[in-house]
């Protein structure tokens, strides 16, 4: 546990990728062999079922620390992380031990079926045997929610370096199906389990955003353009009579999309398609907000199937007749993909994502302007001779998105950040005008420079009207332009709609509060996307 | 009429005709310590501890009208008995004790209860009314003993030396810097920025026993800095000068580093929760030791902390002041010229 805590400390202390990889390599060289697969599982989001509810953990921490519940809540608000708050408020541990990470994790797993009293005894003992940082880690183990700024790619690079294995193999291996108690670190690195596993997907090839002018990419004849779809990136794997659908978050989402299950009969064994899971109705791609109704549901009802039918727009072929195609050029892959799709009996569900014809960059720029009309986010540019890379690699694939939507709003609430930012109002809520009322439409933070944050902060301090706990109502005076990627109906929000990925694009010091957008403006936008 | 009142100029004692740590110019400013949020330029006269006097002269100018006192010596100002007691915050920091007709008030300024090896240790003073800070007035703030933190800092420096990195510690010029110098002396050569070196000189002239440091000058070689340790004030934390060093690694020493979000918000390579303010248990034990019937809570988590004090049976009230921005104040003071100066110095 100490070695793992040290790893987390090192990972948190540096914001440089190379330092983090070095820390990971050191860890996987020095750590207990049995611990290693557990750490890989944790970092790749394979989480065991949570053995104890958050409410109980919180209740016991309050009890043990002897502080009132409201003070715990206030502390939590300042720390911004429940596991950490619990670790900090507990009394000092009296019986320090140094057990192994996997022993702790296995202990937690056995608590699953125990009574609350037994759970409590076990957790209190654990807290009393771990120092503050270790406790924080332990609490994270309970929640299973370990986000520590280690991307899969980073982890894979470190593991590949440490075990002297090709990184694509490591990626295959850790993305497959395995359990940390069943496999040794060596076997995992060697990929001993994946040959017998039909489901494994390939690491997705990702694109960078195109910041420069497209003309800088060279001759148009070297490039293939496609629409950039706003859905869920997916990989469809058919091997040995089984069908698997993977999302980019490396989740198996097969059950969520019954419309695609016909592929188990129609695709050849040894076929892997890459593309976008979308909601497609009458041949038209629908807005992301429509697709959203279908995501992360355990059951799907008739009206959802009817309102948001699923389609798959495929643009790449990664495996053909059981052969890994990733080292082939895009042109070749595309021609085999065309052949594969034309062989399907069921029409109009799994279709080729069309190639956009263009003769010059200027022409493509014009075409791109029409993206929104077909619910596309812009253009994808792929080099015709490009291989299918693992992860993000600069140069071969670019996404050339249309500019985000924007809306002018006024700030009406401000809230302090957490930790060191507890001294500054950094989280703001924005409203648009609806008649003589102001209606909240977005909450955002960041997007401002440190200097601007300070300026806004002093405005909030001087112009606070009311205080609700940590929140201040402020005089509606500061106008901000909010950028966002999409808009959806929402029953939960007073405005009746919700913005997707809202962030501050700029502070409109030139505008007054009576010049902001209205709720009607946003309603019209919503209608135009449906 | 109460002996002290909270006015828009600062904490006022009408009977004595003086202010404690005023933020606007007054006739007599009784000063708890030399941090910029507690003492301003422009007062007609100052009263402070003997070791705060050189700081005021250094920071505000040589020609001030300053009267200074040792700890525990009582003087009489218009019938009010005034004496200073150690606050343990920085060298020369004092709690101001006022006594009038049997009523005792203590204004503590900033304080910490742990002995830091260089500032005179905090001494609890019995009183009826106590004015307390609450910078770290939440139960998440519980400091580890300073020797634990120092051993973490030394491990970090050793690790940096092993990787040929230059260790740069960020610390307030007044207080934290001297504490680090003391704690790290004999471990490695300590290089300090001008603003710290100037204060050190003032302390040494006033008789404080400070270990030797090296003032960073244009002649200082980057290789020397890499082999030793560099201490700079917060104003330089994100500056170009640090970036010009040989693979710099910055470590911030501050109580805010206790929390992960605090460490992430500052783009430092390391954070050490070393604070010159009392932690949660420190605040509570200090307040209990005063036996005060009434506590006024000034800067920090004022609302939360006073609510809690009331719940545990200590009458408390929050007070709005302009304290609690020592870092920002120091930044404003130094940053104007520091970056350019150090650029010139080392060019």
Average pLDDT score over residue span A360-383: 93
Q: Do residues B136 and B158 both lie within one domain? A: no
> Which pTM value belongs to this model?
0.70
**Of the residues A36, A119, A140, A228, which is catalytic?**
A228
Q: Do residues B321 and B252 both lie within one domain? A: no
Return the SS3 of B194: helix
Chain B residues whose beta carbon lies within 8 Å of the beta carbon of residue A83: none
Q: Which of A110, A143, A176 is the last residue of a domain?
A: A143
Is A331 a member of any domain?
yes
- The reply to whether B240 touches chain A by the CB within 8 Å rule is no
- β-pairing, A208-209 vs A486-489, is unpaired
The answer to whether the Cβ–Cβ distance between B140 and A421 falls below 8 Å is: no
Q: Do residues B70 and B21 both lie within one domain? A: yes
A307 min Cα distance to partner chain B (Å): 43
Query: The tokens of A343 are what?
Result: 């062989």
Query: The tokens of A374 are what?
Result: 């077909």
Chain A residues whose beta carbon lies within 8 Å of the beta carbon of residue B259: 78-79, 84, 88, 418-420
Is A69 a member of any domain?
yes
- DSSP count for chain B of H helices, then E strands: 10, 19
- For the purposes of burial, counting CB atoms within 10 Å of the CB of A525, is it exposed (0-12), middle (13-18) or buried (19 or more)? middle
Query: The tokens of A225 are what?
Result: 């353009």
Is B77 a member of any domain?
yes
CA-based nearest residue to A37, from A196, A198, A187: A187
CA-based nearest residue to B296, from B324, B319, B323: B319
Longest CA span, chain A: 74
Per-residue pLDDT at B334: 38
CA-based nearest residue to A326, from A233, A388, A265: A388
Is A173 a member of any domain?
no
Query: The tokens of B200 are what?
Result: 């050190």
Per-residue pLDDT at A172: 67
Q: Do residues A273 and A382 both lie within one domain? A: yes
Q: Do residues A71 and A121 both lie within one domain? A: yes
CA dihedral for A178, A183, A189, A191, sign (positive or negative): negative
Is B87 a member of any domain?
yes
Q: Residue A260 and residue A349: Cα distance in Å, rounded?
A: 7
Q: Residue A353 and residue A337: Cα distance in Å, rounded?
A: 11
Q: Do residues A356 and A381 both lie within one domain? A: yes
Kindly report the backbone phi and psi dihedral angles of residue B318, in degrees, each rounded to the nearest multiple of 5, phi listed first: -90, 145
CA-based nearest residue to B88, from B106, B112, B70: B112
How large is the ipTM?
A: 0.90
Helix axes A35-43, A101-111, angle to 10 degrees: 70
Q: Do residues A233 and A340 both lie within one domain? A: yes
B314 min Cα distance to partner chain A (Å): 15
Is A159 a member of any domain?
no
Is B43 a member of any domain?
yes
Kindly report the backbone phi and psi dihedral angles of residue A406, in degrees, each rounded to the nearest multiple of 5, phi listed first: -135, 155
- Look up the CATH number of the domain holding residue A515: 2.40.50.140
* Confidence tier at A196 by pLDDT (50, 70, 90): very low
pLDDT over threshold 70, residue A342: yes
The answer to whether the Cβ–Cβ distance between B259 and A68 falls below 8 Å is: no
Q: Do residues B9 and B135 both lie within one domain? A: yes
Q: Do residues B163 and B81 both lie within one domain? A: no
| Sheet with B315-318: strands ordered across | B75-77, B80-86, B94-100, B103-107, B129-134, B294-300, B315-318
- For the purposes of burial, counting CB atoms within 10 Å of the CB of A378, is it exposed (0-12), middle (13-18) or buried (19 or more)? buried
Q: Do residues B38 and B51 both lie within one domain? A: yes
A17 min Cα distance to partner chain B (Å): 12
Q: Residue B96 and residue A425: Cα distance in Å, rounded?
A: 33
Is B133 a member of any domain?
yes
- For chain A, give the number of residues: 530
Q: Do residues A502 and A433 both lie within one domain? A: yes
Q: Which of B274, B302, B324 is the last residue of a domain?
A: B274
Asked if residues A60 and A91 have their Cβ atoms less than 8 Å apart, the reply is no
Assign 3-class secondary structure to A401-431.
Answer: ECCCEEEEEEEEEEEECCHHHHHCEEEEEEE
Per-residue pLDDT at B342: 38
- Look up the CATH number of the domain holding residue B17: 3.60.15.10
Chain B residues whose beta carbon lies within 8 Å of the beta carbon of residue A449: none
Percent of chain A with pLDDT over 70: 95
Is A174 a member of any domain?
no
pLDDT per residue, tens digit, chain B (347 aa), is: 689 999 999 999 999 999 999 999 999 999 999 998 899 989 999 999 999 999 999 889 889 999 999 999 999 999 999 999 999 999 999 999 999 999 999 999 999 999 999 999 999 999 999 999 999 999 999 999 999 999 999 999 999 999 899 999 999 999 999 999 999 988 999 999 999 999 999 999 989 999 999 999 888 999 999 999 999 998 887 677 888 899 999 999 999 889 887 776 666 788 999 999 999 999 999 999 999 999 999 988 999 999 999 999 999 999 988 887 655 444 444 333 333 333 333 33
CA-based nearest residue to A105, from A129, A87, A126: A126
Asked if residues A310 and A294 have their Cβ atoms less than 8 Å apart, the reply is yes
Query: The tokens of A357 are what?
Result: 């014809």
Per-residue pLDDT at B341: 39
Only one residue has tokens 């049997």, namely B102
Return the SS3 of B172: coil
Is B116 a member of any domain?
yes
Q: Residue A423 and residue B324: Cα distance in Å, rounded?
A: 10
| Residue from B249, B259, B273, B316 whose CB has the most chain A CBs within 10 Å, to mutate | B259
Q: Do residues A298 and A395 both lie within one domain? A: yes
Q: Do residues A474 and A414 both lie within one domain? A: yes
Average pLDDT score over residue span A119-132: 96
Range of the domain at A441: 405-529
B218 min Cα distance to partner chain A (Å): 30
Is B299 a member of any domain?
yes
A75 min Cα distance to partner chain B (Å): 6
Three-point CA angle B312, B316, B319, nearest 5°: 145
Q: Do residues A9 and A79 both lie within one domain? A: yes
Asked if residues A61 and A88 have their Cβ atoms less than 8 Å apart, the reply is no
Nearest by CB to A85, from B140, B270, B301: name it: B140
Q: Do residues A392 and A409 both lie within one domain? A: no
Q: Residue B108 and residue B92: Cα distance in Å, rounded?
A: 13
Q: Which of B239, B255, B274 is the last residue of a domain?
A: B274
Kindly report the backbone phi and psi dihedral angles of residue A8, in degrees, each rounded to the nearest multiple of 5, phi listed first: -60, -40
Nearest by CB to B311, from A68, A72, A89: name it: A68
Only one residue has tokens 């495929």, namely A314
Is B97 a member of any domain?
yes
Return the SS3 of B84: strand
Q: Residue A203 and residue A250: Cα distance in Å, rounded?
A: 9
Is A51 a member of any domain?
yes
Q: Which of A349, A384, A401 is the last residue of a domain?
A: A401
Q: Which of B228, B255, B274 is the last residue of a domain?
A: B274
pLDDT over threshold 80, residue A175: no
Return the SS3 of B177: helix
Total domains present in chain A: 3
The answer to whether the Cβ–Cβ distance between B304 and A65 falls below 8 Å is: no
pLDDT over threshold 50, residue A466: yes
Q: Which of A116, A143, A170 is the last residue of a domain?
A: A143
Asked if residues B269 and B103 have their Cβ atoms less than 8 Å apart, the reply is no
Q: Do residues A430 and A448 both lie within one domain? A: yes
Per-residue pLDDT at A96: 92
Q: Do residues A465 and A322 both lie within one domain? A: no
Q: Do residues A227 and A372 both lie within one domain? A: yes
Q: Which residues contact A333 (CB under 8 A, 6 or more apart)?
A: A316, A317, A318, A325, A388
Chain A residues whose beta carbon lies within 8 Å of the beta carbon of residue B258: 88
Q: Residue A201 and residue B260: Cα distance in Å, rounded?
A: 35
Range of the domain at B240: 146-274
- Inter-chain contacts counted by CB atoms under 8 A, chains A and B: 70
Nearest by CB to A89, from B139, B263, B266: name it: B139
Q: What is the pLDDT of residues A291-313, one digit of tens each?
A: 988 886 767 889 899 999 999 99
Decide which of A445 and A503 is more confident: A503
Q: Do residues B8 and B129 both lie within one domain? A: yes
Q: Do residues B264 and B201 both lie within one domain? A: yes
- Look up the CATH number of the domain holding residue A106: 1.10.3260.10
Interface of B with A in 4-33 (CB under 8 A): none
Chain B residues whose beta carbon lies within 8 Å of the beta carbon of residue A65: 139
Q: Residue A449 and residue A432: Cα distance in Å, rounded?
A: 23
Asked if residues B47 and B36 have their Cβ atoms less than 8 Å apart, the reply is no
Percent of chain A with pLDDT over 90: 58
Q: Do residues B268 and B150 both lie within one domain? A: yes
Asked about A339 being catalytic, the answer comes back as: no
Q: Residue A341 and residue A354: Cα distance in Å, rounded?
A: 12
Is A313 a member of any domain?
yes
Total domains present in chain B: 2
Q: Do residues B69 and B186 both lie within one domain? A: no
Asked if residues A477 and A455 have their Cβ atoms less than 8 Å apart, the reply is no
* Confidence tier at A530 by pLDDT (50, 70, 90): confident
pLDDT over threshold 50, residue A414: yes
- Look up the CATH number of the domain holding residue B252: 3.40.50.10890
Is A157 a member of any domain?
no
The answer to whether the Cβ–Cβ distance between B139 and A417 falls below 8 Å is: no
The answer to whether the Cβ–Cβ distance between A84 and B260 falls below 8 Å is: yes
Rg (alpha carbons) of chain B, rounded to whole number: 20
Is B186 a member of any domain?
yes
């Amino acid at each position: 546990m100490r070695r793992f805590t040290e790893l987390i400390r090192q990972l948190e202390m540096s914001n440089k990728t190379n330092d983090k990889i070095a820390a990971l390599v050191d860890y996987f060289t020095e750590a207990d062999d049995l611990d290693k697969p557990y750490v890989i599982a944790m970092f790749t989001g394979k989480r065991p079922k949570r053995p104890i509810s958050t409410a109980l953990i919180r209740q016991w921490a309050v009890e043990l620390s002897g502080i009132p519940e409201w003070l715990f809540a206030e502390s939590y608000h300042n720390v911004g992380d429940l596991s950490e708050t619990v670790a900090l408020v507990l009394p000092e541990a009296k019986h320090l031990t140094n057990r192994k990470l996997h022993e702790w994790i296995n202990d937690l797993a056995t608590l699953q079926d125990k009574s609350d009293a037994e759970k409590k005894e076990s957790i209190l003992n654990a807290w009393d045997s771990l120092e503050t940082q270790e406790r924080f880690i332990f609490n994270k183990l309970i929640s299973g929610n370990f986000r520590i700024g280690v991307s899969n790619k980073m982890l894979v690079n470190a593991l590949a370096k440490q075990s002297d294995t090709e990184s694509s193999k490591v990626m295959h291996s850790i993305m497959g199906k395995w359990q940390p108690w069943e496999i040794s670190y060596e076997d995992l690195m060697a990929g001993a389990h994946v040959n017998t596993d039909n489901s494994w997907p390939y690491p997705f090839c990702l694109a960078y955003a195109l910041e420069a002018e497209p003309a800088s990419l060279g001759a148009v004849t070297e490039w293939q353009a496609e629409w950039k779809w706003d859905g869920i990136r997916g990989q469809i794997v058919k091997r040995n009579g089984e069908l698997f659908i993977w999302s980019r978050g490396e989740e198996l989402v097969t059950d969520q999309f019954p419309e695609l299950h016909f592929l188990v009969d129609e695709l050849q064994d040894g076929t892997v398609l890459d593309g976008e899971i979308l909601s497609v109705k009458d041949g038209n791609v629908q807005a992301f907000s429509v697709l959203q109704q279908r995501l992360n549901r355990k059951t799907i009802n008739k009206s959802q199937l009817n309102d948001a039918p699923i389609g798959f727009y495929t643009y790449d072929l990664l495996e053909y007749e059981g052969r890994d195609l990733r080292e082939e050029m895009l042109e070749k892959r595309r021609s085999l993909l065309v052949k594969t799709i034309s062989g399907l009996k069921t029409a109009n569900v799994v279709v080729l994502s069309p190639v956009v014809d263009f003769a010059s960059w200027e022409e493509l720029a014009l075409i791109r302007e029409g993206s929104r009309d077909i619910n596309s986010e812009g253009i994808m540019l792929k080099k015709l001779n490009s291989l299918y890379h693992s992860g993000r690699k600069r140069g071969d694939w670019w996404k050339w998105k249309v500019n985000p939507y924007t809306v002018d709003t006024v700030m009406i609430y401000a809230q302090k950040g957490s930790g060191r930012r507890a001294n500054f109002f950094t989280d703001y809520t924005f409203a648009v005008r609806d008649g003589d009322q102001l209606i909240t439409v977005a909450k955002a933070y960041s997007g401002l420079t440190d200097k601007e944050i300070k300026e806004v902060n002093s405005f909030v301090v001087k112009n606070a009207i009311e205080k609700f706990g940590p929140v201040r109502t402020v005089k509606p005076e500061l106008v901000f332009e909010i950028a966002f990627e999409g808009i959806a109906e929402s029953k939960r929000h007073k405005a009746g709609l919700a913005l997707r990925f809202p962030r501050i694009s700029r502070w409109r010091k030139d505008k007054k509060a009576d010049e902001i957008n209205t709720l009607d403006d946003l309603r019209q936008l919503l209608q135009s996307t449906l | 009429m109460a002996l002290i009142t909270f006015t828009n100029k600062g904490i006022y004692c009408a009977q004595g005709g003086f202010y404690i740590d005023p933020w606007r110019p007054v006739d007599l400013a009784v000063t708890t310590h030399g941090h910029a949020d507690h003492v301003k330029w422009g007062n007609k006269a100052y009263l402070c501890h003997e070791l705060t006097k050189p700081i005021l002269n250094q920071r505000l100018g040589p020609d001030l009208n300053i009267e200074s006192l040792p700890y525990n010596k009582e003087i009489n100002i218009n019938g009010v008995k005034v004496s200073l007691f150690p606050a343990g915050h920085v060298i020369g920091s004092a709690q101001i004790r006022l006594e009038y007709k049997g009523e005792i008030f203590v204004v503590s300024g900033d304080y910490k209860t742990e002995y830091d090896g260089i500032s005179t240790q905090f001494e609890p003073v019995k009183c009826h009314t106590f004015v307390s800070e609450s910078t770290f007035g939440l139960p998440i703030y519980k400091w580890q003993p300073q020797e634990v933190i120092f051993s973490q800092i030394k491990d970090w420096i050793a690790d940096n030396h092993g990787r040929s990195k230059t260790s740069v510690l960020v610390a307030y010029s007044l207080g934290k810097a001297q504490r680090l110098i003391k704690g790290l002396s004999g471990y490695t050569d300590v290089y300090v920025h001008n603003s710290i070196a100037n204060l050190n000189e003032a302390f040494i002239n006033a008789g404080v026993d400070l270990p030797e440091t090296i003032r960073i000058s244009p002649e200082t070689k980057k290789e020397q800095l890499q082999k030793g340790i560099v201490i700079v004030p917060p104003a330089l934390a994100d500056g170009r000068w640090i970036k010009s060093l040989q693979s710099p690694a910055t470590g911030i020493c501050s109580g805010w580093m206790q929390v992960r979000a605090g460490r992430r918000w500052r783009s430092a390579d390391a954070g050490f929760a070393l604070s010159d303010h009392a932690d949660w248990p420190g605040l509570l034990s200090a307040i209990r030791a005063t036996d005060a019937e009434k506590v006024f809570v000034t800067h920090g988590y004022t609302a939360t902390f006073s609510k809690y004090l009331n719940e545990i049976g200590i009458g408390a009230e929050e007070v709005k002041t302009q304290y609690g921005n020592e870092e920002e104040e120091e930044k404003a003071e130094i940053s104007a010229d520091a970056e350019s100066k150090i650029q010139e110095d080392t060019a």
